[in-house]
């Protein structure tokens, strides 16, 4: 399915009257189902006033990484930098938190509400270097839409 078609489906999910977590989970399911190289799709959010992220809805293999300190791993670095982070080869990253030996690449895009980084979408891929600038723009779109419901 094209990114344009997926955008329409993301908008439909966002406009649904279900709970925020249900809508976030539906987005995870949508992306994991239709983008074959998206093997783990989830959201992390700032954990209250703490300098850490807490795992939100996700689809994929279970993870022990339900809390990630700011600065640790790819997600923790995005929480500090406020910038997208595309990792074509996780083995080449010094500050990477290994979730599974099958993961080869990762992309993390922050979610901003009123200019504040409140969370992020995290995608793991079992394919080496699969993410393009189109993925990045599409995930920025997803995060912008998610920001309207959190």
Q: What is the pLDDT of residues 79-128, one digit of tens each?
A: 999 999 999 999 888 777 767 789 999 999 999 999 999 999 999 999 99
Q: Say if CB 44 and CB 75 are below 8 A apart.
A: yes
141 pLDDT higher than 90: yes
Name the nearest CA neighbour of 70 among 41, 103, 95: 95
**Beta bridge partners of residue 107, listed in sequence order:** 86, 123
The CATH number of whichever domain residue 47 belongs to comes to: 3.30.450.40
Q: What is the pLDDT of residue 101?
A: 82
pTM of the model: 0.96
Q: Which residues, 6 or more positions from 14, have their beta carbon under 8 angstroms from its beta carbon?
A: 23, 145, 146, 148, 149
- Domain of residue 129, residue span: 3-146
Strand partners, 67: 54
Is the pLDDT assigned to residue 38 strictly greater than 90?
yes
Q: What is the pLDDT of residue 66?
A: 95
The total number of structural domains that make up the chain: 1
């Amino acid at each position: 399915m094209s990114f344009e078609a997926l955008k329409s489906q993301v908008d439909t999910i966002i406009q649904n009257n279900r709970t925020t977590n249900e809508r976030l989970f539906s987005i995870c399911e949508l992306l994991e189902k239709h983008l074959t190289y998206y093997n783990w799709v989830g959201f992390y959010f700032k954990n209250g006033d703490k300098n850490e992220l807490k795992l939100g809805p996700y689809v994929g293999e279970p993870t022990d990484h339900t809390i990630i300190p700011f600065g640790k791993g790819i997600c923790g670095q995005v929480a500090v930098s406020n910038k997208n982070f595309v990792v074509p080869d996780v083995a080449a990253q010094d500050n990477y938190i290994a979730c599974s030996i099958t993961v080869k690449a990762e992309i993390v895009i922050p979610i901003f509400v009123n200019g504040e980084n409140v969370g992020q979408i995290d995608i793991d891929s079992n394919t080496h270097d699969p993410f393009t600038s189109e993925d990045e723009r599409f995930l920025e779109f997803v995060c912008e839409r998610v920001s309207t419901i959190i």
